[in-house]
Amino acid sequence: MIYFLHFFYGLIMAYFGLISPGMLNMTVLKTRLNVGKIESVKFALGAAVIVFFQAGIALFFADFLIDNPKVIEFLKMAAVFVFFILAIFFFILSRKKMEAKRKISKGNYFFKGMAMSSVNMLAIPFYLGISIYLGSVNKIIIEQPYIFFFIFGAATGSFSLFYTYIFFANVISKKISFVATNINIILSLLFLSLGIFTLIKLIG
């Protein structure tokens, strides 16, 4: 059961962490609309593979840092900082209009997914902040084999989110501005709340 919970937390964090119409989701959506379902699934798989390693790197650092008690308070403050940055990031995204349809170049979409996911600079800080927070409230255990189940869940959650965009591509493409604005403002408020809650707990 505890293994499943770690998988579940990883899945949920990845799904909702990527739900905003950003670079990867828009590319998945455009690939589905302009090229086809098979290529968009290949792209999603490639991106999900990189998420597995990104989450693994984040959990590795979290595990290493948590083993040093002197840096625990610093880590909690770092998590607060990450949450506030994410809140600002999603708020800024909520003010932008997203465009779904654009020409997609040819090539191997699996490797394109890996390449684009690799340049997602927010991924590692996101999973680092989330894992530190979940560890601090005793929701996850940041050591093996629990780390593996968490990062496997993160990869599964990311692919599930990409597939959601693929499955509902026609619906989302027609309402992309509405979806982007509302999802991003919700995520902004969520991360702002997490940041405030963590800060209050840290001060208290």
Q: Is 186 exposed, middle or buried (0-12, 13-18, 19+ CB in 10 A)?
A: middle
Inside any domain, residue 70: yes
Inside any domain, residue 74: yes
Find the mean pLDDT for residues 147-155: 93
Inside any domain, residue 87: no
Find the mean pLDDT for residues 113-121: 84
Q: Tell me, what amino acid is at 95?
A: R
Which has the higher per-residue pLDDT, 90 or 151? 151
177 and 97 Cβ atoms separated by less than 8 Å: yes
**Residues 163-203: pLDDT tens digits?**
999 998 888 777 766 665 666 677 678 778 877 877 787 77
pTM listed for this prediction: 0.73
Which has the higher per-residue pLDDT, 2 or 65? 2
Residue 85 has pLDDT above 50, yes or no: yes
167 and 29 Cβ atoms separated by less than 8 Å: no
Helices (H), 95-175: 109-118, 123-136, 146-167, 169-174
Q: Tell me, what amino acid is at 146?
A: Y
Residue 188, C-beta contacts closer than 8 angstroms, at least 6 positions apart: 86, 87, 88, 89, 90, 91, 94
Residue 139 has pLDDT above 90, yes or no: no
pLDDT (0 to 100) of residue 8: 94
Inside any domain, residue 148: yes
pLDDT (0 to 100) of residue 11: 94
**Residues 20-49: pLDDT tens digits?**
667 788 788 888 888 889 999 999 999 999
Containing structural domain, residue 148: 2-82+102-176
180 and 20 Cβ atoms separated by less than 8 Å: yes
Inside any domain, residue 90: no
Inside any domain, residue 71: yes
Find the mean pLDDT for residues 145-153: 92
Find the mean pLDDT for residues 74-96: 73
Q: CA–CA separation, 173 vs 127, rounded Å?
A: 28
Q: How many domains does the chain fold into?
A: 1
Find the mean pLDDT for residues 148-155: 94
pLDDT (0 to 100) of residue 77: 72
Percent of the chain whose pLDDT exceeds 70: 78
Closest CA to 99 of 172, 188, 16: 172
Inside any domain, residue 189: no
User: Taking all residues of the chain, what is their mean pLDDT, rounded to a whole number?
Assistant: 80
Inside any domain, residue 72: yes
Residue 117 has pLDDT above 50, yes or no: yes
Q: Is 52 exposed, middle or buried (0-12, 13-18, 19+ CB in 10 A)?
A: buried
Residue 199, C-beta contacts closer than 8 angstroms, at least 6 positions apart: 80
Closest CA to 17 of 146, 191, 196, 194: 191
Q: CA–CA separation, 165 vs 81, rounded Å?
A: 30
